[in-house]
A and B are shown apart, each in its own frame.
Chain A
Amino acid sequence: MPLTRAQGLERHAFKAVIRRYLAACPERSMPHTRSAPGSTQEPAPSPTPTPSLPPTFAGNGNLATGYNPDGVRHTDSAVPTAPGGPVRHDYAATGPAPGRLGFRWINGSIVAATNTDPRVQVVQYNEDTFVLRQNVCVHWEAPFVYLLFGNEGALLIDSGATANPQHFPLRETVDAIVARWCQMRGRPSTPLTIALTSGEDIAQNQGLKQFIGRPRTTIVPPPIAAMKAHYGFAGAWPGATGMIDLGDRIIEVIPTPGTHRDGVSFYDPYCDLLFTGDLLFPGRINIGNDRDYVASLIRLRDFAARNPILFVLGGHIDMMFAPGRFYPRFATNKPYERILQLLPEVIDDALRHAREVQGRDMMLIRPDFVLFNGVSPDQRTSVWPEGVPQITPPYPF
């Protein structure tokens, strides 16, 4: 059923969607409930602001939600009560662990050659979750890389589009973040696992070379057969799921081929984030095998029905803030980018429209992504989705 115009507009009213989402999940609508003794206040969801306002203006909080939500325990105090020993973090969360993507991504510049942004942008989601982005002017794909920590190890999801550490110092940045995290938790070091959402995606596997020879590091081998063997998928691909145990934080590995033969998605039950790489992201999705693509989305839909998902986080952003508008390949100045995080409803939307393009060579525009099936990634179309407002974004300069 296509969205009505009003629904289409509402999709972009972040706050409304969050409210609807919370209303639809009654068991999660009050994620951090623990009434203080003697408190007459109704326990309520966390006062974490929904990011409906730019960061400058967000953050007033909400009095109705109470001052002392349960999620407070997910932060290790700045003043450890027992200094000396390693801190063991409590990853058992009743709802999504508190965290926030409160910043605008670096997004290139008018003249790429004179860009002065950092080569790797680091944004902390919470103490145990980091999002890194490659500078658009180092590589136009500007992939996102995720770094998750558990009590027994860290996980790096994807590795960026550039191998040269002079241009893209991913290893150096990851090492520094890991070192600081270890200091914070009173550990000498922590093992690192590097897993890719696709070993054959050259926009995500290039940085892997920087980590060769790194001590205490496990690299999930990129060749498809070796990868399947590593996760124990042998024979059961793509029906089974694998896992990466970080110590009290077990990341689930879901086979999701479709854009790449060896595509996998990762689910983090601590923050309720689903990392989908090239399969589903706010951008131009190039379907490699449409039958696999539909099957993978069905698998994700079923997974989402069983597991709470706060955001779907992909590997890139190509979309603009205006619905259905996107940047072409090789763009190095993207001032009007859409935000990275997608709501879980996007899985249903993608599935519905993936079925529409299945077996046909065509491109199809949706507000939050564009599907390309069997056509050039530079294909154009005059077909505009029904019910989506046609907003022409301003020319960047």
Chain B
Amino acid sequence: MDRRTFLSYNAAALAVPAALTTYAEAAAASGLRPAPIDFSGDGPAPGSFPDRWICGSESLMDNTDPPVHVHWYNSHTAILRQNKAYSFEAPFAPLYFGNDRVLLLDEGFTQLRTNWDLRGVVDECIADWCKRHVRDPASLELLVAFSHLHADHYAAVNQFADRPNTRYMGLTHEEMLGFWGMTDFPEQRITLDLGGRDILIWGSPGHVVSEFAYYDSYTQILYTGDMFYRGRCYITYWQPWFDSMARLIAFCDEFPVSHVMGCHIEISRDGTDYPYGTTWQPDEAPVQMTVEDLRQTSNSRRRSPNRASISPAPCSSAIRPAASPRSTPIPTDTTDAFVARISGGVRMRKGASR
């Protein structure tokens, strides 16, 4: 570069973006507004589940995995799964990104940021996404919602109490419904617009009263919470559970569903039940299920509505007394014994005992 070129060169134009702290500011300074991401399109957005999730370890105190496994299903969808060494519940928590909002569904089983910092992980995911898509993280509103009113799904809410631009669900039935503006639970289906990406939400009682099903129109994942997942579906209220199953099936008839996804995995690839409280699941089944699994389970329920049974579908069901869910003392040998004990006789699955 000769002296004349140097003097006429607009150094400021080059220097400005580097001096700005956020990509969005840089984009704004250069006169470029990021084009909104198009979440429409035919068919489900492509995405993938990992072959293996972080799933605890033989010795918990020697576990070196991070507290939460963050998996990017696709560019706009992250799925979080808690390390079994941090809680045997190891719930899943999808994080859906839209142009205006981010939706965190469920949380890990952690209360204080000093135990493990879910909010920090979510902030990192948001920063990561914003970096890739040239946004300002401060411009995105975070919605923290949960599938149902159990602590392994909502325990971390208070971590978000002082996070700017954040709304989260309250811990009563009323506040949960009010959060989505529902007036006719559970039939009413509401649409949450994340900014070009619609989430459909409706009631799904049965496991508990206060539960929702969430459908993401972009990935077409149907998130069924603890009402239907690959493991022991604890049913507190039979008839509402059947009704909720029918509602899910009717939804699947109406809308395309790529995967059905629950909140936990409690079963191995070969169909062995991991007993309640297991903290190491080296051979666990995948979290995602198919619509066919849902239909099959619904049908097998119809045939034996009054007894707990292990179904050929990936989800087994267990009657649980309404007043004492998981607090019921559980025999340490097998969960099937638990099922049998409280229901007075079940169809046992071969090889179910561990």
Contacts and interface: CB of A to CB of B under 8 A. Distances in A.
Contacts of B148: 59
B30 interface: no
B192 A72 contact: no
B149 A124 contact: no
B208 A61 contact: yes
B145 interface: yes
A49 B148 CA distance: 13
B174 A72 contact: yes
Given A63-B237, A69-B174, A78-B179, A177 B162 contact: yes
A99 interface: yes
Interface string A122-163: 111011001000000000000000000000000000000000
Interface residues of B, number: 56
Contacts of A63: 205, 209, 237, 240
**Which of A53, A72, A176 has its CB near the most chain B CB atoms (within 10 A)?**
A72
Contact of A61 (B149, B179, B327): B149
A111 interface: no
Contact of B179 (A77, A99, A121, A177): A77
Nearest to A127: B170
Contact of B174 (A36, A48, A123): A48
Given A56-B326, A67-B205, A98-B172, A79 B181 contact: yes
B121 to A, nearest CB: 17
Given A47-B173, A72-B177, A77-B180, A118 B165 contact: no
A73 interface: yes
A103 B111 contact: yes
B185 A61 contact: no
Interface in B157-180: 157-158, 161-175, 177-180
A76 B169 CA distance: 10
Interface in A64-102: 67-69, 71-79, 81, 98-100, 102
B200 to A, nearest CB: 13
B203 interface: yes
B5 interface: no
A99 B205 CA distance: 21
B106 interface: no
B143 interface: yes
A56 B170 contact: no
B175 A74 contact: yes
A372 B15 CA distance: 70
A124 B161 contact: yes
Contact of B112 (A46, A74, A121): A121
B170 A100 contact: yes
B322 interface: yes
B291 interface: no
Nearest to A61: B209
B120 interface: no
Nearest to A80: B181
Contacts of B208: 59-61
B151 interface: yes
B11 to A, nearest CB: 38
A55 interface: yes
A106 interface: yes
Contact of B327 (A57, A81, A100): A57
A213 B167 CA distance: 29
Nearest to A76: B178
A28 to B, nearest CB: 16
B184 A68 contact: yes
B277 to A, nearest CB: 12
Contacts of A122: 158, 161-162
Contacts of B236: 60
The 3 closest A-B pairs by CB, nearest first: A75-B178, A61-B209, A176-B162
Interface of A: 32, 36, 46-49, 53-63, 67-69, 71-79, 81, 98-100, 102-104, 106, 116-118, 121-124, 126-127, 130, 173, 176-177, 179-180, 183-184
13 contacts: A47-B173, A61-B205, A62-B209, A67-B186, A68-B177, A68-B182, A68-B183, A69-B173, A77-B179, A78-B169, A79-B193, A99-B171, A180-B161
Given A116-B114, A121-B112, A126-B170, 17 more contacts: A36-B184, A57-B326, A61-B209, A67-B205, A67-B209, A72-B177, A72-B183, A74-B178, A78-B145, A78-B181, A79-B180, A98-B172, A100-B170, A117-B112, A122-B158, A123-B158, A179-B162
